[in-house]
Structure 1
């Protein structure tokens, strides 16, 4: 009888662990991609335009490095574009709040490169 109770306890713990692990995996979760383009930052705008595309994205800086590195460039005026290579994901923007006027949001997880020198190719 005691062995049976222990088996039920072990089975219960195993099921809880398996279900807890699977909750963190969303089938719709996107893997971060390296994305290249122009980033502009100022008091009311955090925007990104991918190289070779016209669509503009609102930017959410989960890395806490993009805005910091932009600010360290000491521009005299806000909103001047810089070339960036970031690791992140694109997702639909929220319907209200900051960035609501953009269709999509770029969530930045890692800053790979940021420079004032904009490539002459498709990023102009």
Structure 2
């Protein structure tokens, strides 16, 4: 019985170590600036620029380094701000600045290229 308890403790420690490593790796990937394509809903207005990843449901603050996402959004001429649009963008994630509104978001999505933007939200996890 004593050997069983030792094995259980060792197994638990290994399991916890694996979880910690996996979480740290994901955080490191988000802050490493690795470019990727992401799909989801983008909302823009005077105070908030946000993106919701359709697959994971995570919400990000958006910085438009290409200066094309905000322009494309404003070309839709919405009557009111914050109307969601479906976008596919090339981006990388950075840690949000704790001194501005983006601190309310887990990460900041830095958009480098707009691949698609449309008012029509496709069926599936985004809808």
TM-score exceeds 0.5: yes
The answer as to 2:86 corresponding to 1:83 is: yes
Answer 1 or 2: which has greater helix percent: 2
Counterpart-to-counterpart distance in 2, 1:103 and 1:34: 18
The answer as to 2:125 corresponding to 1:112 is: no
The answer as to 2:53 corresponding to 1:50 is: yes
* C-alpha RMSD of the superposition: 1.2
Q: Segments of 4+ in structure 1 off by > 4 A?
A: none
**TM-score normalized by the length of structure 2:** 0.73
Counterpart-to-counterpart distance in 1, 2:32 and 2:93: 11
Counterpart-to-counterpart distance in 2, 1:29 and 1:106: 12
Deviation of 1:31 (Å): 2.8
- Name the SS of the counterpart of 1:36 in structure 2: strand
- Name the SS of the counterpart of 1:52 in structure 2: coil
- Name the SS of the counterpart of 1:99 in structure 2: helix
Task: Please list, as runs of the form range in 1=range in 2, the aligned pairs for 1:1-124 lying within 5 A after superposition.
Answer: 29-124=32-127
Deviation of 1:107 (Å): 0.3
Find the counterpart in structure 1 of residue 11 from structure 2.
Answer: none
Q: Please say which structure displays the higher CA radius of gyration.
A: 1
- Name the SS of the counterpart of 2:125 in structure 1: coil
**TM-score normalized by the length of structure 1:** 0.74
What CA deviation, in whole Å up to 9, does each residue of 1:99-123 have, x standing for no partner? 1211211000000000000011111
Contact kept in structure 1, 2:40 and 2:51, CA below 8 Å: yes
